[in-house]
Amino acid sequence: MQIWRSLASVNRLGHRPYSSKASVSRCAQILQASKTGPCQFEDQEVKINGFIRSVRKQKRFAFAEISDGSTVEPLQAILKPAQAADLSTGAAVEISGLWKACPPGKEQTHELQTTDVTVVGASDPETFPIQKKYQSPEFLRQIPHLRIRTPFNSLLSRFRSECMFQLGNVFHSHPNGAFTQVQPPLITSSDCEGAGETFTLAPRGAATPTAENEHFFRAPKYLTVSSQLHLEAYAAELGNVWTLTPVFRAEKSDTPRHLSEFYMLEAEVNFMSDLASLTGLVEHMLRDLTRRLYNTPVGQEILSAKRSGETGQEASAEAGSLRQRWTDLMDGPEWARITYTHAVEQLQRAVSENGASFEHPPTWEGGLQLEHEKYIVEVLHQGRPVFVTDYPKSVKPFYMAPSEVTESSNTSRETVACFDLLLPEVSEVAGGSLREHRLPDLIQNMREHGLIKSRQLPESDKPAPEEPLYPYLSPDEDLSHLQWYADLRRWGSAPHGGFGLGFDRFLGYLSGVSSVRDIVSFPRYFGRADC
Amino acid sequence: MQIWRSLASVNRLGHRPYSSKASVSRCAQILQASKTGPCQFEDQEVKINGFIRSVRKQKRFAFAEISDGSTVEPLQAILKPAQAADLSTGAAVEISGLWKACPPGKEQTHELQTTDVTVVGASDPETFPIQKKYQSPEFLRQIPHLRIRTPFNSLLSRFRSECMFQLGNVFHSHPNGAFTQVQPPLITSSDCEGAGETFTLAPRGAATPTAENEHFFRAPKYLTVSSQLHLEAYAAELGNVWTLTPVFRAEKSDTPRHLSEFYMLEAEVNFMSDLASLTGLVEHMLRDLTRRLYNTPVGQEILSAKRSGETGQEASAEAGSLRQRWTDLMDGPEWARITYTHAVEQLQRAVSENGASFEHPPTWEGGLQLEHEKYIVEVLHQGRPVFVTDYPKSVKPFYMAPSEVTESSNTSRETVACFDLLLPEVSEVAGGSLREHRLPDLIQNMREHGLIKSRQLPESDKPAPEEPLYPYLSPDEDLSHLQWYADLRRWGSAPHGGFGLGFDRFLGYLSGVSSVRDIVSFPRYFGRADC
């Protein structure tokens, strides 16, 4: 079925109607076919809609590099000087001609012998900010709407797309049964992490509410920081669920690892009662995803693309170490699992025995700083992925289940069944835990975290008889906006667990781009939300 | 590779460790295999993690219906009275036994002869709000976190998941080349529709900014109402792009067709210069999606599922008309295209000649009301999809390109190259247009829509020499936060177009659910954002 009809009649836009002789091909299709044996396009008329990446005008011929966003590699066209007269960098053209093999020794295998070229959108090369020369990441970040048009950033967009597609395949064909992809709400009542760094929302121009019922939703609402709580509701019915959804943090941190809006891949599994199953799920998922990407053209493009530095990617990416990174992910030995307590001991030993020095001396109570994480993954584990498990209960959110084993007889050293996955360069890329699925224990945790409100009791100091007490609560306690979450534990609550992965960070790791500000097309962070 | 390890040792949660004899199967897998010829599970030990949907206790035997969220159909287990003693509706169980064929004449082909059952999460049937009896949509909307657990709502979650997966396939394997899936920002500067019904955002607890630079992002920001403008930036490089992303409207409308947060499927195509190509793209995409869904188990479940009314679905969905709806989408004749002007004439004729009556008499200037749309699709086009094209310029946004042809010599009747796709029951489900890709014309449109601000001129009434004038602007005009969008027309702008489809509305159409409040698991609308 021909779905994009050519215009047979006069074109309203004043330029010539599309040729009906040849349908439009994509550069990727033509160039790929030209590399792999007999090429079905050879000596045929082909037609491209694309952009002039560069043009060289000589006396007898002109040469233009054409791209159409389908591959980083340009397609070379040879033109008569008259045909090239109006061509300039950036111009949008419809170009057609014969696809001819080049004599051996030329850089390209084929070139387009142009029969016809029409400029549909001119470009003034004097003012066009995207030039072929090196442009710094800082400069390009100021023009994200045009940054997309540099070859490597264009490739990054296609790579992200392929990641999303392959992620769908990973979960759809999971050996333990398909995971259900869900779309949890972004407007929520609670701050999952308890960190308080959320955005509130209100209708534009609305007066600041002075009473609860003046809020648009009859109560204050926030942009989600994690979909975990809702995923637990889905998993309680569907078993295995996942989502890839934007999350928001109103953090003022100015680092290449943080954004105010970013995509989080989250999954939740019901009937899961040990942490090894959870880290196994994460490892399997990331290995499977990487392997699938490796077998796609765009995956290979990322591994071999020329990098001119315009996305601040690590220099190391040039040197074949990116390929090693992928190989480690796909085919390397099982990733290490070490407990937090063990990690801290190793860090302390590194200080006392190997002269390692940290800004923050490692202590069990102090948690892991970025410098500690980097040392763990890069020095102690030779740059291979590592799961750090069982962190102190005191530094983690209320919903985490206790560890299966305790390493210390010191009861003040309570730990929870959780993990952080550390990768070189990006450090923490994923975190997850088993969830406290027992109602009394969950409520006790909430109480300890100050999440249970006290409420006005009626005159008699007793609840009205028609309002039965919530289990495990005293009459003056109120679960407030988290009652629905506690509800999930009341009727058929099974052990379960899940994780969240910073999707943009992981894309940066796979593509060798060190700042999430260069991985996300339109990055939002403190003080910046251009376009 | 075994990825979810069984616990071999004592389980920290106090219940017995998972059996290592049989790995866990999903109900869908077992029941599907039992219907199609020889069943590999027959006479084998199987193990299910699921929930008790109902239990009947008799003197010598007990019967339990088990579900695990993988299919609407329950799996029947037969137990000894002692095994069933602790079972109640909603309880989470690990159950295993032999999968035995039933004698002919029984409702089910097989049943589970239970050898072992463990309640991992008890349920109090007295208080469990999800009962097997009929429960009204209004009641269930108050408990969205538990509503997911009703069989039809559970099915809707899996159906949405399959739609997303198949949508990925539709775009990945598009005959005109793969579309790139992008993730445009949700935090934006502009209100795409110019309607003003947006949400603003601010860090929780922040004081109301009194100066521009006190904003978190140094300027006021809004939650996106459409990703179109950003999609145009992507399409200008990548050619064909799409996204499935949440959008937000601070509308106070109280209808079954509107939410404050919903998913929009949007696509944009560069080098597209006629409206017929755009409607062709939409028709092809929806037919392809429906056909792919039809060929999946969950698509067939939606078509045959028992409906007890708990999602307010149309009664008509029962009567085979849902199947007809799908058939029309997949295999029906080409969908009608009529111009807006023609549609208004037909409505006016319906009034004058056929005695049709409308609350708002149809006029060319007045636009189409819901009652008009319903008449067009249900009466004039016998309930088949119809594209209404070329609406008056005066009722449409600034970015639309002029129509290719004008039907009227009346120059005050300017129209634009756009469409609305109308379906029965849901009415408008998609809308799109060609975009004005010529910079001077776009700027003129922006001027007419009041989107160009005036700015303080320097003392001399002339711009400073180091600041060149923006093309087609006068010195006292400022494109403000839309300058980047105009920029897209400066260097290589080709004719292009795109559309947005209300994903939740379309899911409702395919599944016969009449309110988006019942299609979205956690609906947000004026006054309501539960859980």
* Predicted confidence (pLDDT) per residue in B225-238, tens digit: 999 999 999 999 99
Q: Inter-chain contact A161–B145, Cβ cutoff 8 Å?
A: no
Rounded CA gap, A243 and A227, in Å?
Answer: 8
Q: Given A4, A180, A269, which is nearest B161 (Cβ)? A: A180
Judged against a pLDDT cut of 70, whether residue B44 lies above it is answered with: yes
pLDDT reported for residue B408: 63
More reliable by pLDDT, A13 or A298: A298
Q: Inter-chain contact A484–B273, Cβ cutoff 8 Å?
A: no
Residue B84, helix vs strand vs coil: helix
Task: Give yes or no for a contact between A190 and A481, defined as CB atoms under 8 angstroms apart.
Answer: yes
Q: Given A90, A222, A529, which is nearest B217 (Cβ)? A: A529
Residue of chain B minimizing CA distance to A129: B491
Report chain A residues whose CB lies below 8 A from the CB of B238.
Answer: 69-70, 148, 154, 157-158
Q: Given B12, B404, B488, which is nearest A145 (Cβ)? A: B488
Confidence band, pLDDT 50/70/90 cuts, at residue A191: low
Confidence band, pLDDT 50/70/90 cuts, at residue A206: confident
Residue of chain A minimizing CA distance to B49: A271
Predicted-complex ipTM score? 0.94
pLDDT reported for residue B193: 56
Judged against a pLDDT cut of 70, whether residue B308 lies above it is answered with: no
Task: Name the minimum distance, in Å, from the CA of A523 to any CA of chain B.
Answer: 8
Judged against a pLDDT cut of 70, whether residue B332 lies above it is answered with: yes
Residue of chain B minimizing CA distance to A276: B5
Rounded CA gap, B340 and B357, in Å?
Answer: 19
Rounded CA gap, B344 and B372, in Å?
Answer: 9
Q: Given A24, A200, A261, which is nearest B185 (Cβ)? A: A261
How much is the average pLDDT of B490-501? Answer: 98
Task: Name the minimum distance, in Å, from the CA of B58 to any CA of chain A.
Answer: 23
Q: Please give the helix or strand (H or E) that residue B420 lies within, else none.
A: strand B418-423
Report chain A residues whose CB lies below 8 A from the CB of B216.
Answer: 199, 250, 260, 526-527
Closest CA to A482 of A222, A270, A196, A229: A229
Report chain B residues whose CB lies below 8 A from the CB of A494.
Answer: 49, 92, 120-121
Q: Tens of pLDDT along A101-136?
A: 999 888 899 999 999 999 999 999 899 999 877 888
The mean pLDDT of chain A is 90
Judged against a pLDDT cut of 60, whether residue A423 lies above it is answered with: yes
For testing contact with chain A, the best of B171, B191, B271 (most A CBs within 10 A): B271
pLDDT reported for residue B213: 75
Q: Inter-chain contact B4–A277, Cβ cutoff 8 Å?
A: yes
What residues have CB less than 8 Å from B125, skipping those under 6 apart? B88, B89, B90
Residue type, A223: L
Percent of chain A with pLDDT over 90: 78
Q: Inter-chain contact A246–B121, Cβ cutoff 8 Å?
A: no
Q: Tens of pLDDT along A306-365?
A: 776 655 555 445 557 899 999 999 999 999 999 999 999 999 999 999 999 999 999 999
pLDDT reported for residue A29: 94
Q: Inter-chain contact B187–A524, Cβ cutoff 8 Å?
A: yes
Task: Give yes or no for a contact between B250 and B191, defined as CB atoms under 8 angstroms apart.
Answer: no
Q: Tens of pLDDT along B92-104?
A: 999 999 999 999 8
Spell B43-52 as b/e; 16+ CB within 10 A means b: eebbbbbbbb
Please give the distance of CA B274 from its chain centroid, rounded to a whole number: 27
Judged against a pLDDT cut of 60, whether residue B12 lies above it is answered with: no
Q: Inter-chain contact A49–B270, Cβ cutoff 8 Å?
A: yes
| pTM exceeds 0.80 for this model | yes
Q: Inter-chain contact A185–B261, Cβ cutoff 8 Å?
A: yes
Please give the distance of CA B390 from its chain centroid, rounded to a whole number: 25
Task: Give yes or no for a contact between B421 and B282, defined as CB atoms under 8 angstroms apart.
Answer: yes
Judged against a pLDDT cut of 70, whether residue B281 lies above it is answered with: yes
Q: Inter-chain contact B3–A234, Cβ cutoff 8 Å?
A: no
Q: Which of A64-78, B190-204, B410-424 has the lowest mean pLDDT?
A: B190-204
Q: Inter-chain contact A145–B238, Cβ cutoff 8 Å?
A: no
How much is the average pLDDT of B371-388? Answer: 96
Q: What is the interface size between A and B, counted as CB pairs within 8 Å?
A: 378
